[in-house]
Amino acid sequence: MRNTKKLTMVAMMIALSVVFHTVEGMVWNPAEFVVPGFKLGLANIVGLIALFKFDSKTMITVNFMRVMISSLLTGTILGHVFWLSLSGVVLSTAMAILLHNKVKLSPIGVSIGASAFHCIGQILMAVYLYNQIRMVFYLPVLLLLSVPTGIVTGIISQMVVKRLK
């Protein structure tokens, strides 16, 4: 019974993260006029909840499945958008797990670190995909924005985790 409950929760978290990711990509974002590609990262909230409510393996599952399913639904599988998304999620997930398991930070601290590493992963992949080293000059802007977005997603994650316990 216990495994069934966890499986159901994980399936719902995957579905919710796919919805957040897809909707956030479809909704008009005025900030993108100033900072192209900027998003709050609502789907990352679900990954953080998976980490704090369950464990690292669950976060990896939720985040990886989100990227795969969202890419299939939006038709970007194996395209540049897919690789940018995957690179960001791999680095941010690794950093979140490290900060949670080794440094023992709160969801807010973990979220800020994960947000920054998501940006680093995407910029590194963009440099590789487009063969443009100059894209690293965009990194300071993204890193600066990763702090407030990490704080917002971290606060929301922390509130949800407290209610789930």
pLDDT in tens, 84-137: 999 999 999 999 999 999 999 999 999 999 999 999 999 999 999 999 999 999
Cβ neighbours of residue 163 under 8 Å, at least 6 residues apart? none
**For residue 84, what pLDDT is reported?**
95
- Count the Cβ atoms, other than its own, within 10 Å of residue 115: 28
Q: How far is CA 70 from CA 35, 51, 66, 111, 117, in A?
A: 23, 20, 6, 21, 21
Cβ neighbours of residue 135 under 8 Å, at least 6 residues apart? 123, 126, 127
The answer on pLDDT for 165 being more than 90 is no
**For residue 25, what pLDDT is reported?**
83
Residue 113 has which token pair? 């670190």
- We find that the CATH architecture of domain 2-26+38-164 is Orthogonal Bundle (1.10)
SS (H, E, C) 43-90: HHHHHHHHHHHCCHHHHHHHHHHHHHHHHHHHCCCCCHHHHHHHHHHH
Mean pLDDT of 138-150: 94
Query: Looking at this protein, which amino acid is placed at residue 130?
Result: Y
**For residue 97, what pLDDT is reported?**
98
Q: What is the pTM of this model?
A: 0.92
Q: How confident is the model at residue 153 (pLDDT cuts 50, 70, 90)?
A: very high
The answer on pLDDT for 32 being more than 80 is no
In tens, the pLDDT along 38-70 reads: 888 999 999 999 999 999 999 999 999 999 999
Residue 42 has which token pair? 């609502």
